Structure 1
């Protein structure tokens, strides 16, 4: 049996896998009716990663966004190529700390809004050098 060794398509660091060719007997006659409706498997990379070089995965370690359905322990898919717009959930760097917050813009005033009342919102001047938008959260993967 010949095997092909490869890596998953998501990003550098994917787990290595081996794909084996499995010989099968030749089928004759009519195929099963259900064969017409067979779909290929779901590729999570294809579903979740739209710009491979700009996509990163983060583990959420705060309860600041529970109101948005993002919980501590969730995996966040973050795309750095998407422009941060008002209403989007972003990864922000504030004083060297990574924060997950919803961005609200009002003229030159920026607000990083927590979706949990236990956390206060952060008001920023539009030209505040302490803060930087790192990327936009596109998906949250939550274990059930």
Structure 2
């Protein structure tokens, strides 16, 4: 992967590998009481095939900051961003705003657009004609370390 730092996000261009699959046990893992693992089947699973719908328009970016913690996006999480998806109200988007990238929830009402953080310590940003503003892509998934 090739990394590009821009403001509060670090972008990664995905490198498509022919056999990037890992072992997958299609049995369901209990988060309650343990269950016997007698009848599990082992398969191969590719995260590219599961998570990436449009390879040419998909990028990764690492979150930097706390403005989206209420949406489950924490510092250092890896975002999957699809630039081919249509932006709409309530989607989480990566936006280019006045020279910097940011990730926020879109709030759209008629001709008005706001960028809504998911942390009460951060202000809502109203987009005006004076802003240099582009909706760069829509967040489709987040990958976390545990």
| TM more than 0.5 | yes
Alignment partners' CA distance in 1, 2:85 and 2:66 = 24
Alignment equivalent of 2:141, drawn from 114, 139, 142: 139
Between Structure 1 and Structure 2, the one with more strand by share is 2
After the TM superposition, which residues 4-83 of structure 1 pair with which residues of structure 2 at under 5 Å, given as runs? 11-12=14-15, 38-83=41-86
Cα deviations by residue, 1:87-110 (Å, 9 ceiling, x for unpaired): 000000001100000001011110
Which has the higher Rg, Structure 1 or Structure 2? 1
Aligned length: 117
Task: Name segments (4+ residues, structure 1) moved above 6 Å.
Answer: none
Alignment partners' CA distance in 1, 2:130 and 2:59 = 25
Match of 2:26 in 1: none
Cα deviations by residue, 1:12-68 (Å, 9 ceiling, x for unpaired): 375998xxxxxxxxxxxxxxxx6xx63422211111111000000000011110000
> Secondary structure of the residue that 2:79 maps to in structure 1?
strand
Give the superposed CA RMSD.
2.5
TM-score (norm 2): 0.72
Alignment partners' CA distance in 1, 2:41 and 2:102 = 43
Q: Which runs of 5+ in 2 are unaligned?
A: 1-12, 21-38
Contact 2:14–2:60, Cα closer than 8 Å, also in 1: no
Alignment partners' CA distance in 1, 2:117 and 2:64 = 14
Alignment partners' CA distance in 2, 1:102 and 1:83 = 14
After the TM superposition, which residues 90-105 of structure 1 pair with which residues of structure 2 at under 5 Å, given as runs? 90-105=93-108
